[in-house]
């Protein structure tokens, strides 16, 4: 079981553009034995949200071993050649630690911001990932597509990893799972995917044919996470800031099919999370392994959680939970 830390890139008027807390958390996670630091992406967030790719490069300069991943970049809004070149350079700068995770996106205002339309997102996504993959692995790429045309294009320097960095994709419906198996190397679940749904979704994902360029069918489960001496302490630290985040998601996801899941009670949230005592968290992580997950990404610090509380949970996962899993 591999473990990732999903870091908080939210900012506010008192914290812009300061990433010192994030660096402190990621360095602690690296020392504690986490496998990845994972970044998300958001635009048009009035309080502030640190841009993902420059933040990833910044974290690469402040770490040595931990994997650097996104979950996920909104692929349909990017120019594919620029994206391939930028991600390749992050892999070079980090010494081969990049995992590039993508999503289709769901907020109409984000598509409008970049001059695209929601109805174009699937074809733009597929064309973008096809070009990124080819530019990472081929000496010259000629492509005349619906959205992008290039002739004898190439990326130099190419990524350090051979044959290329791994690619993740998120999504819940069957079409997204099929697309992931065909075009990517791993599936990242939603944070609100129910545990009861996971075994069936994992089986369905792995039943679809893999594309010729696929490097595997990795499953990475995304979960809220907080480990403490007791489950009561974990809840006391996490509940209030997490409720604030879920209230915000209810507005952001008003056009998404899973918007209602962010209005659930604490017991519903806890039932699909890794929150509680050391033993309880170890059991939850082990259960995801038994379902077929290769890794779990934990969102430990919602906006509003004090830095000291976030560091305490990261240390507890590393010192007390991970050793139970790995022995």
DSSP letter for each residue of 16-58: SS--HHHHHHHHHHHHHT--EEEE----S-TT-B--HHHHHHH
pLDDT of residue 254: 57
What are the pLDDT digits (tens) for 105-133?
999 999 999 999 999 999 999 999 999 99
* Lookup: tokens for 308: 């000291």
Cα–Cα distance measured from residue 322 to residue 327, given in angstroms and rounded to the nearest whole number: 9
Give the domain range for residue 135. 2-326
Domain count, the chain: 1
Cα–Cα distance measured from residue 90 to residue 99, given in angstroms and rounded to the nearest whole number: 10
Confidence of residue 256 (pLDDT cuts 50, 70, 90): low
What are the pLDDT digits (tens) for 195-205?
999 999 999 99
pLDDT of residue 11: 75
DSSP 94-125: TTS-EEEEEE----HHHHHHTT--GGGHHHHH
CATH number at residue 67: 3.20.20.30
Confidence of residue 258 (pLDDT cuts 50, 70, 90): low
């Amino acid at each position: 079981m591999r473990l990732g830390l999903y870091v908080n890139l939210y900012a506010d008027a008192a914290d812009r553009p300061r990433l010192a807390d994030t660096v402190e958390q990621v360095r602690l996670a690296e020392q504690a034995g986490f496998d990845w630091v994972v970044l998300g992406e958001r635009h048009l967030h009035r309080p502030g949200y640190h841009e993902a790719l420059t933040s990833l490069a910044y974290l690469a300069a402040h770490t040595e071993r931990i994997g650097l991943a996104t979950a996920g970049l909104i692929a349909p809004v990017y120019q594919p050649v620029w994206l391939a070149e930028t991600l390749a350079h992050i892999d070079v700068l980090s010494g081969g630690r990049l995992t590039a995770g993508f999503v289709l996106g769901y907020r109409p205002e984000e598509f409008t911001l970049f001059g695209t339309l929601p109805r174009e997102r699937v074809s733009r996504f597929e064309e973008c990932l096809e070009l990124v993959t080819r530019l990472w692995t081929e000496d010259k790429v000629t492509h005349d597509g619906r959205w992008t045309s290039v002739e004898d294009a190439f990326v130099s320097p190419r990524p350090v990893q051979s044959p290329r960095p791994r690619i993740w994709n998120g999504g819940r419906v069957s079409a997204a799972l099929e697309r992931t198996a065909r075009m990517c190397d791993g599936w990242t679940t939603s944070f609100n995917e129910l545990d009861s749904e996971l075994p069936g979704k994992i089986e369905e994902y792995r039943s679809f044919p893999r594309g010729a360029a696929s490097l595997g069918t990795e499953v990475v489960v995304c979960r809220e996470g907080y480990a403490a001496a007791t489950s009561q302490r974990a809840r006391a630290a996490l509940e209030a800031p997490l409720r604030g985040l879920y209230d915000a998601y209810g507005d952001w996801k008003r056009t998404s099919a899973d918007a209602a899941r962010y209005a659930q009670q604490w017991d519903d949230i806890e039932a699909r999370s890794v929150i509680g005592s050391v033993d309880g968290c170890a059991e939850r992580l082990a259960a995801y392994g038994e379902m077929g997950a290769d890794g779990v990404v934990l969102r430990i610090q919602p906006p509003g959680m004090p830095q000291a509380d976030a560091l305490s949970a990261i240390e507890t996962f590393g010192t007390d939970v991970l050793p139970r899993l790995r022995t």
